[in-house]
Amino acid sequence: MEEALVLQEDTAGVVRLTLNRPRALNALNSELLGELDAALAALEARGDLRAVLITGAGDKAFVAGADIAEMRDKTPDQARRFAVNALATLKRLERLPVPVVALVNGYCLGGGCELALACDWAVAGDNAVFGQPEVGLGVIPGFGGTQRLPRRVGPAMALDLITTGRRIDAAEALRIGLVNRVVPREELETLVDELTGQLGANGPQAVRAAKQAVHDGMNQPLDSALALETSLFALGFAGTEQHEGMSAFVEKRPARFGDAG
């Protein structure tokens, strides 16, 4: 049997998804995107989910881009369907109710950069290389890059990267806000363990509410967004999670939040 194209590990509700085409530098083809979509659909139904980490197999690439060999001979209609399907998968990733973190290990180009942009935030090894090189292939980014990149780094920097197709290293990605943290490549796994512990230790419903407040609030006027925050803050007092968290603080002990569901 062929090995799965998306590998999954679960540590107390913190799920790590590894895109597994290392010989192709984890390039996104229809089959891999289909397996990723199915994995994400299954995660949507889990009440115990705390966070999702996504990375690429091997030490050379997170995702080096979409699969050029598959795309080369597509008609416009076929290209549209390919992009629509990929966008649907990235939207499913983006809309998970828990934090989604990209762990960037190596090349993160084209569709790979767009995949990282669909995550809530990203951490990178110092060997990471980022870019949107599609114009060098005669096309523009088709998996959300022209829209998510300017929202992450600003329109001027996004146009710089998209229209030149230039690559940037991890240090520049950190400077412009494309990634949140950069560590030596050999320390990336240590950081993963740290993130797993941090993301799994907090109140799961509070974390979900925080993500909802940020994502939904960004699309509303400030007054409406503040009202949303107030509602979600107050709703936190309706369950047991708030009482446990605050009691643990007063009693100077670790909180025991139990299952997210």
Question: What are the DSSP calls for the chain, one per residue?
Answer: -PPPSEEEEEETTEEEEEE--GGGTT-B-HHHHHHHHHHHHHHHT-TT--EEEEEESSSSEEE--B-HHHHTT--HHHHHHHHHHHHHHHHHHHT-SS-EEEEE-SEEETHHHHHHHTSSEEEEETT-EEE--GGGGTS---SSHHHHHHHHH-HHHHHHHHHH--EEEHHHHHHHTS-SEEE-GGGHHHHHHHHHHHHHHS-HHHHHHHHHHHHHHHTS-HHHHHHHHHHHHHHGGGSHHHHHHHHHHHTTS--------
Kindly indicate the confidence band of residue 1, based on its pLDDT and cuts at 50, 70 and 90.
low
**Banded model confidence at residue 154, pLDDT cuts 50, 70, 90:** very high
- Mean of per-residue pLDDT scores for the chain: 94
The residue annotated as part of the active site, out of 2, 9, 70, 134, is 134
Per-residue pLDDT, 3? 85
Annotation marks residue 241 as catalytic:
no
Residue 20 — very low, low, confident or very high, per pLDDT cuts 50/70/90? very high
Q: How far apart are CA 101 and CA 116, in angstroms?
A: 8
Tell me the average pLDDT across 148-177. 98
Position with higher pLDDT, 2 vs 12: 12
Q: What is the pLDDT of residues 87-98, one digit of tens each?
A: 999 999 999 999
The residue annotated as part of the active site, out of 114, 186, 187, 244, is: 114
Q: Give, in degrees to the nearest 5, the angle at Cα 105 between 101 and 109.
A: 90
**Predicted confidence (pLDDT) per residue in 196-228, tens digit:** 888 888 999 999 999 999 999 998 999 999 999
pTM over 0.85: yes
Share of the chain above pLDDT 90, in %: 89
Q: What is the pLDDT of residue 192?
A: 85
**pLDDT(2) > 80:** no
pLDDT digits (tens, 9 = 90+) for 70-120: 999 999 999 999 999 999 999 999 999 999 999 999 999 999 999 999 999
259 pLDDT band, cuts 50/70/90, is: very low
The lowest-confidence range among 29-33, 62-66, 151-155, 202-206 is 202-206
Active-site annotation holds for 134: yes
